[in-house]
Chains A and B, each alone.
Chain A
Amino acid sequence: MKLPYVEYEAPATAAEAVALLAEYQDEASVLAGGQSLIPLLALRLARPAVLVDINGLSELAGVSVADGRVAVGAMTREYVAEESEVLAEAVPLLAAALPLIGHEAIRSRGTIGGSLAHADPAAELPAVARALDAEFVVRSRSGERVIQAADWFEGYLATARQPDEILVEVRFPAAGPGAGVAFHEVARRHGDFAIVGLAVALTLSDGAISDARLAFSGVADVPVRGADAEDLLVGERPSAELFEEAARRATAGIDPPADLHGSSEYRKKVAATLVRRGLRAAVDGATHNGARRNGARQNGAQLDNPDERR
């Protein structure tokens, strides 16, 4: 599975990068972490004429906080984001999802921006971005524009990014007091893409849910907000019956794809299970000392060896 012939450019600055994209437009693929693009090239499913390698754009890496928002540079490596105490504190849902992305070696190279620009609907970060109404900052030769998460994900591996634009930054709202999160996924094995995943972010105020955000991965060709469930939850006190009804509403309108790993029916059932479990976990998180990260992956044959060997 050898890559097809490609031309190669390695711009040193973002300005150079967008100039190249202005020239090549949709004949170029932007190479960030490469963990998604290189397999596509190896399978000869992607056939760009030129690779624009933006790994030299160190100006696009880094995490900063301003005005209650957390700006994550697009070239921030996933492992760096995973180790970031700022993110753990301020965007706990992102922190919960990051360890579930593939395996450590993938996160050594994969980037926050790369994953979101690739927009695989079964991936973790698109669901997180959709749940939190993240903002996507893209830049072209003509300047910058900001795209809301609801508008960013257009279809399977398709985003609102134009061929002459690069994603430079993603902005997440900072979690406030009373926040609780959960990121759960059902995958065949540890580290696999989810069959179905769910990002949950809640806020509890005086024991009632004052804010609720749910976003699924793996149930459509884009991440899907559980808006009907969110409407139900806001203002209510958590209970098993509430979660059950939320699960029903969140999955009523979805028509998941079928593939080798699960039928549409199966994905729908699992999605409902994830809502129940995710809401319970997020409420637990919110209840204990404010915002706390709570990520778990439920996948096949995970070990639970009580006699942990050392």
Chain B
Amino acid sequence: MVDITVRVNGATHTGSVEARTTLSDFLRDDLDLTGTHVGCEHGVCGACTIIVDGRAVRSCLMLAVQADGSEVTTVEGLAPDGALAPLQQAMWDAHSFQCGFCTPGFVMQATAFLGAHPDAGEREIREALSGNICRCTGYQSIIDGVLLAARRGREDRAPQARPA
């Protein structure tokens, strides 16, 4: 067993884990953060995507012990309880999802991507999200949600018009 200390969604957690425990299982089972979903356990579907030290990663491809000392954000940590982050709001407005199983992975990957590429267009967004699999939507509504969030972000950043 290995002792680890991880900051998750702003709170410090200590735990004792077997080395073989994946970060996805540690989050879900030890910390009860079940928002991160497990879809394949071999790093292809992206459902387990979280943000570690500022980068989107597949939590099924990290061991919990490797997150010792790291800063982790899961889908539960994007907005305070009851609130929605702008991307989540945009995805709600755009009817992005159906069954919701892939959703946290998409939300986290898109959050990381838009953070680094706020002016991305459709093609770049599709490529950036092509590592997240959705079986329900055919992706268009998800892309619509991300584009909407990007547009709103640009509008927010645009200089305010001066009153005449």
Whether the complex brings A and B within 8 Å at their CB atoms is answered yes
Contact surface of A with B, Cβ cutoff 8 Å: 1-8, 10, 31, 34-35, 38-39, 41-43, 51, 53, 55, 79, 102-106, 108-109, 189-191, 303, 305, 308-310
Contacts of A105 in B (CB 8 A): 46, 49, 55-58, 109, 131
Q: Which of B42, B58, B151 has the most CB of A within 10 A?
A: B58
**Residue on A with the closest CB to B154?**
A310
**Stretch among B6-14, B79-87, B93-101, B118-126 lining the A interface:** B118-126
Given the known A-B contacts A34-B63, A51-B19, are A310 and B41 also in contact in the complex, defined by CB atoms under 8 Å? no
Decide if B61 touches A109 in the complex (CB within 8 Å).
yes
Cα A218 to Cα B65 with chains together (Å): 34
Decide if A35 touches B43 in the complex (CB within 8 Å).
yes
Q: Which of A41, A79, A103, A109 has the most CB of B within 10 A?
A: A103
Could you list 16 A-B pairs, sorted by A, with CB under 8 Å? A6-B19, A31-B66, A34-B63, A39-B43, A39-B61, A42-B41, A43-B42, A79-B55, A103-B131, A104-B56, A105-B109, A108-B52, A303-B126, A305-B123, A310-B119, A310-B122
B102 located at the interface, meaning its Cβ lies under 8 Å from any Cβ of chain A in the complex: no
Complex A-B, nearest 4 residue pairs according to Cβ-Cβ distance, in ascending order: A103-B131, A8-B19, A108-B55, A3-B20
Decide if B19 touches A7 in the complex (CB within 8 Å).
yes
Cα A102 to Cα B119 with chains together (Å): 23
Cα A108 to Cα B57 with chains together (Å): 6
Contacts of A53 in B (CB 8 A): 63, 65-66
Given the known A-B contacts A38-B43, A53-B66, A310-B121, are A104 and B20 also in contact in the complex, defined by CB atoms under 8 Å? no
Decide if A3 touches B123 in the complex (CB within 8 Å).
no
Cα A224 to Cα B61 with chains together (Å): 29
B2 located at the interface, meaning its Cβ lies under 8 Å from any Cβ of chain A in the complex: yes
Decide if B122 touches A305 in the complex (CB within 8 Å).
yes
Decide if A309 touches B131 in the complex (CB within 8 Å).
no
Decide if B41 touches A1 in the complex (CB within 8 Å).
yes
Q: Which of A42, A43, A105, A109 has the most CB of B within 10 A?
A: A105
Decide if A42 touches B56 in the complex (CB within 8 Å).
no
Decide if B43 touches A106 in the complex (CB within 8 Å).
yes
Contacts of B63 in A (CB 8 A): 8, 31, 34, 38, 51, 53
Which residues of B90-136 have CB atoms within 8 Å of chain A's CB atoms?
Answer: 109, 112-113, 119, 121-123, 126-128, 130-131
Contacts of B61 in A (CB 8 A): 34-35, 38-39, 106, 109
Contact surface of B with A, Cβ cutoff 8 Å: 2, 18-22, 25, 41-43, 46, 49, 52, 55-58, 60-63, 65-66, 109, 112-113, 119, 121-123, 126-128, 130-131, 147, 150-151
- Taking the nearest CB of chain A, how far is it from the CB of B122, in angstroms? 4
- Taking the nearest CB of chain B, how far is it from the CB of A46, in angstroms? 12
Decide if A41 touches B20 in the complex (CB within 8 Å).
yes
**Residue on A with the closest CB to B58?**
A105
Q: Which of A55, A190, A303, A310 contacts B66 (CB 8 A)?
A: A55
Decide if A34 touches B55 in the complex (CB within 8 Å).
no
- Taking the nearest CB of chain B, how far is it from the CB of A45, in angstroms? 10
Cα A51 to Cα B121 with chains together (Å): 42
- Taking the nearest CB of chain A, how far is it from the CB of B87, in angstroms? 16
Given the known A-B contacts A109-B61, A310-B122, are A39 and B66 also in contact in the complex, defined by CB atoms under 8 Å? no
Contacts of B122 in A (CB 8 A): 305, 308-310
Contacts of A303 in B (CB 8 A): 123, 126
Contacts of B109 in A (CB 8 A): 104-105
**Residue on A with the closest CB to B41?**
A1
Cα A191 to Cα B44 with chains together (Å): 10
Contacts of A39 in B (CB 8 A): 41-43, 61
- Taking the nearest CB of chain B, how far is it from the CB of A54, in angstroms? 11
Cα A310 to Cα B60 with chains together (Å): 32
Decide if B56 touches A309 in the complex (CB within 8 Å).
no
Decide if A8 touches B43 in the complex (CB within 8 Å).
no
Decide if A309 touches B121 in the complex (CB within 8 Å).
yes
**Residue on A with the closest CB to B131?**
A103
Contacts of A5 in B (CB 8 A): 18, 20
Contacts of B21 in A (CB 8 A): 3
Q: Which of B66, B113, B130, B147 contacts A34 (CB 8 A)?
A: B66
**Residue on A with the closest CB to B25?**
A2
